[in-house]
A and B are shown apart, each in its own frame.
Chain A
Amino acid sequence: MGRSKGVRVLVLVLPILFVTLALFVAPLGYTFLTTFYYHPPGAIMEPILTTENYSKFLFDSYYWRVVGNTLMIGGVTTLITLLIGYPLAYQLARRPFLKTAQLVLLISPLLVNVVIRTYGWKVLLSDVGIINRALMAMGLTDSPIRLVNSIIGVFIALAHVLLPFMVLSISSVLEGIDESVIEAAHMLGASRIKAFLRVVLPLSLPGVIAGSVFVFVRSAGSFMVPALMGGGRVRTIPTLMYQYMSHLLNWPFGAVLAFFMTFLLVLIVLAFSSTAMRRQTRVEADEP
């Protein structure tokens, strides 16, 4: 019996094990190796080990500005989705009228590809678009505000598509909060605001952290949005990676950029998610 169970598990797990090792771990391992490869003039790379790709990256302030820019985009997008998304998540968790319709509207940005969404935003936000015309008609500005081909457009388009992840991440945790805990806070004399700040908000923190980590990584790792909305003005690590891989054909340097970004994001994720991880292991330990 024990042996047949072992065989069954092996058969069930073998395909995902193959995908994970052969198509995730191995490619990343090989790419790490190529960060040390030599990039000869006129060719892509040669397996001669060198650290010159790293020194090119580390000692040029241009690349550090690009890194700063990428992290700033991640941070601002996370903040925007958190501020806009929390009330929405609260509403979705506590007052679910027409819940399916709400969910459909909420995830609608995820169902069309990034070029479609960005094109729509470009029409809306252009110098002669509705937003600018409305602002000028209201007398708020004399000349159009540059919303496309700028970092502002990048924030708007990224927040648009990542908001659903933030909202659903928070609302799934809010739904799990026992109503009686909040009632208890009220009975002990806490006002609505105080009960929210001292009870609901702390309990929802794991959802906030999980959502923030996801939004941060996705926005910092986005290629299309800065490429299309930035109009060539917004340089991030992914747009630079694409340039080095497809146009400049310097693969070792592209690999250095990829690894540096992964390294940074992993550090940030680990720093932010340690509390969420602790909670997750507790939840899983409770499972039968």
Chain B
Amino acid sequence: MRRRLRGKGLALYSLLIYAILITPIVIVVVVSFNASEFVSFPPKAWSILWYKRALLNSEFIRAFSVSASVAGITTAVSLVVGTMASLAFVRYRFFGKNILRSLSVARLAFPQVVLGLALLQYFINIGYGLGVKALVLGHVVVTLPFVVQIVSATLYGFDRSIEEAARTLGAGPVRTFLRITIPVIRPGVLTAGIFTFILSFDNVGISLFVADARSVTIPVRMFLYIQENYDPSIAAISTVLIAFAVVLVLILARLGTLDKVFRGRSGTYR
């Protein structure tokens, strides 16, 4: 009896914490339908005025499309590079493997603003310039460790006898890879892809430094806007972004690979 009560207490505590975690997000959604220019909660009158304002703001629209294309290209590059590296890390022993792996794992906890600052100086120095292509390269650097971590975790759980069976039945190495390996690791790769997209789309540390005037990303644009304005159009654009995030989360939940995402930081590939 006491044991059950204790379990209930812990569950109740968790519920309270989860409620606190989502409160600021719920608040933003509610405020976005506020009719007044002055943010008050709960709103006294409702309106969709701020959605019209936000969607007519060409700076937001441009920033949104920059973020979407940077995140799209970053995801493609990171997935290819990261999956290749994971295959090498999990399946082969080679010279320098531990150093290379440590250098990419270290980036998970490396302060992004430091890397952003370094990339700004470096891109200017080598004459590469700033803008979308600089953003993509910078985002690949910070998202790649996540891809390696998630895909590696999937590969550790991979039963290689299926591949051997395919080879025994006469399939070549390319065919085995395409028909067996890829389908088996696909949930992991998809999860990594969704996370990479979110990380790149929401990135601030790198974008703050390597974006130029024409390639300001949506979080940085919102940051610059909120410095001078406090009206609910920022809440309206936020709500649109929250809706996207909800869709992505539902996909993640369906894939059932959520807990793989954070595995391995503690060194437990299981």
Chain B, Cβ-Cβ closest to A236: B113
Q: How many residues of chain A are within 8 Å of chain B by beta carbon?
A: 98
Contact of B121 (CB < 8 Å), options: A27, A104, A220:
A27
Give bound CA distance, A276 to B105, whole Å: 14
A258→B114 contact, CB < 8 A? yes
Give bound CA distance, A245 to B115, whole Å: 13
Flag B1-16 by CB within 8 Å of A: 1 or 0 each: 0000001001101100
Contact of B238 (CB < 8 Å), options: A112, A220, A284:
A112
Interface centre among B17, B39, B201 (most CB of A within 10 A): B17
Residue A135 CB within 8 A of the other chain: no
Please list the residues of chain B having a beta carbon within 8 angstroms of any beta carbon in chain A: 7, 10-11, 13-14, 17-18, 20-28, 31, 39-41, 80-82, 84-85, 87-88, 92, 94, 100, 103-104, 107-115, 117-122, 125, 137-138, 140-141, 144, 148, 156, 198, 201-202, 204-205, 208-209, 218-219, 222-223, 226, 234-235, 238, 241-242, 245, 248-249, 252-253, 256, 258-259, 261-263, 265-270
Say what secondary structure dominates the interface of chain B: helix
Residue A106 CB within 8 A of the other chain: yes
> Which residues of B lie under 8 Å from residue A105 when comparing CB positions?
18, 21-22
Taking A87-B13, A129-B41 as contacts, is the C-beta distance between A213 and B258 under 8 angstroms?
no
Give bound CA distance, A116 to B204, whole Å: 13
Give bound CA distance, A242 to B20, whole Å: 31
> Which residues of A lie under 8 Å from residue B92 when comparing CB positions?
5, 8-9, 12
Contact of B205 (CB < 8 Å), options: A5, A109, A223:
A223
> Which residues of B lie under 8 Å from residue A11 when comparing CB positions?
84
B222→A115 contact, CB < 8 A? yes
A16→B104 contact, CB < 8 A? yes
Flag A11-44 by CB within 8 Å of B: 1 or 0 each: 1110111011001111110110010000000000
Closest-CB distance, B99 to chain A (whole angstroms) = 9
Flag A123-155 by CB within 8 Å of B: 1 or 0 each: 110001110000000000000000000000000
Taking A105-B21, A238-B111 as contacts, is the C-beta distance between A172 and B268 under 8 angstroms?
yes
Given contact pairs A27-B119, A107-B258, A163-B21, enumerate 14 new A-B contacts (beta carbons under 8 Å). Answer: A12-B92, A30-B121, A90-B10, A105-B22, A112-B25, A113-B201, A119-B234, A123-B31, A123-B41, A221-B111, A227-B223, A245-B117, A254-B117, A258-B118
A113→B218 contact, CB < 8 A? yes
